[in-house]
Amino acid sequence: MSESFEGKVAIVTGAAGGMGRAIVLAFAGAGASVVAADISENELAETARLATEAGGKVRAITTDVGSAADIQAMVKAAVDDFGGLDCAVNAAAIEIETTPLVDCDEEVFDKLVRVNLKSVFLSLKYELRVLIDQGRGGAIVNIASTNSFRPQPGQSCYTATKHGVIGLTRNAAMEAARDGIRVNAICPGAIDTPMLRGSMERKGRSIDDVTDRLSLMGRIGQPDEIAKAALWLCSDESSYTVGHALAVDGGYLAR
């Protein structure tokens, strides 16, 4: 992608590691000023350090993405520190299930909904308000999952939240398009992140155990491959792409 984000302002949630960190670094490398948000303070500081060393302008803000007050503060930081908002990638998520639905605790369901789905609702709510008020358009990308379309055993609650992310994405896209704001989603497949490795470890598996089932390419994806897709969806090069769920999954959904 050739487009520069020089002079643009971006927000990234889930910025402490994995795909979120890769997206922060990609935006910073393309010239954007970035508000990087996450609840994991030490890892978030490392993301900010890496982005700053690469020449980026980054404001790290410790954020509980399930808190409306924290999300409002995150969006306000973009406006106060960098002068506005142009794009956002809502990437915060967890995956903590290990059991079938009948054995899943209510607390697990509630936590997954709060982090994976409520966070996207809140982020969209306050990001869209700023973008609409500015009157110059913009782009938002929500990180969904291939689980949004194809469930996995032992992931009923996670799958439900990721179905919900697609629903929020499409409804927000329908409501915001006339204001020149494009809302889309990315559905990552198996990506080499701490979250995936942690999930595999809890289930007593290794990455090699699932690679052939989850990819047509003989490998799992890398976080920067999601970051490149996110930047494309936030750029003018995807100017007619609205309400779309882009699978970046090594062909998994094509099986």
Catalytic residue from among 126, 158, 240, 252: 158
**Alpha carbon 172 to chain centroid, angstroms:** 16
Question: Sign of the C-alpha dihedral, residues 108, 12, 244, 174?
Answer: positive
Question: CB of 37 within 8 A of CB of 13?
Answer: yes
d(CA 78, CA 75): 5
Helix (H) or strand (E) holding 58: strand 57-62
Q: Which residue has the tokens 């803000």?
A: 61
Question: CB of 168 within 8 A of CB of 142?
Answer: yes
Helix, strand, coil shares, percent, the chain, to 5: 55, 15, 30
For residue 183, which amino acid is it? V
Within 8 A by CB and 6+ apart from 30, the residues are 3, 4, 5, 6, 231
Question: Could you tell me the two tokens for 65?
Answer: 């993405």
Specify whether 240 is catalytic.
no
Question: CB of 55 within 8 A of CB of 27?
Answer: no
Q: Give the single-character DSSP code of 221.
A: B
Within 8 A by CB and 6+ apart from 204, the residues are none
Active site residues: 158
